[in-house]
Amino acid sequence: MSVMRRKDKEITEKVIIEEIFRQNQVGRLGMAVDNKPYIVPMNFAYFNGSIYLHSHKDGTKMSYIKQNPNVCFEVDDGEIVTGENPCDFSWMYKSAMAYGKARIIESDEERQKALGIISDKYSFGKSKLITPELMAKFGHLTLIEIKVDKMTGKQSPAPKKD
């Protein structure tokens, strides 16, 4: 794993990095198979050291995860800073990266729990509507858990140090 070049912009507090994951609505899942990278934007939920995703059971993403479960997941939030000169343009941002292994959740109970975590992120309380009967109707729906092994964070301007 590489070392962050701009240490002054590094976010070192895990609680702040986790908050970046919780606050963002869309993240990007990065995968690679046979030296071919693939990145896809996804809705997600971060909970207790894991990132939860849902997907159709078929497609490139699922094929890549089955072949190589080592993934990364990135989120960011920010705004462009403009200037008179194109070289004065910048970006004020906070970003976070998570690295880990993706696994397809197999058990009905875990699938229902994972979908509930994602549902409550986007519409709190909707997890109550997720029943075994509802899950059975959506046989194509696959739930994925990324167990986070490592997280990094970065922001600009650099965070204030005490």
- Give me the number of domains the chain comprises: 1
Q: Provide the token pair at 120.
A: 């409550």
Q: What is the pTM of this model?
A: 0.88
CB 52 within 8 A of CB 22: no
CATH code: domain of residue 59: 2.30.110.10
pLDDT tens figures, 33-42: 999 999 999 9
The model's confidence at residue 139, banded by pLDDT at 50, 70 and 90, is confident
Q: Structural domain of residue 29, as residue ranges?
A: 7-152
Answer yes or no: is 162 within a domain: no
Q: Provide the token pair at 142.
A: 């696959």
Among residues 120, 104, 112, the alpha carbon closest in space to that of 137 is found at: 112
Q: Provide the token pair at 17.
A: 């990095």
Q: Is the pLDDT of residue 1 over 60?
A: no
The model's confidence at residue 86, banded by pLDDT at 50, 70 and 90, is confident
Answer yes or no: is 99 within a domain: yes
Q: Provide the token pair at 51.
A: 């990132």
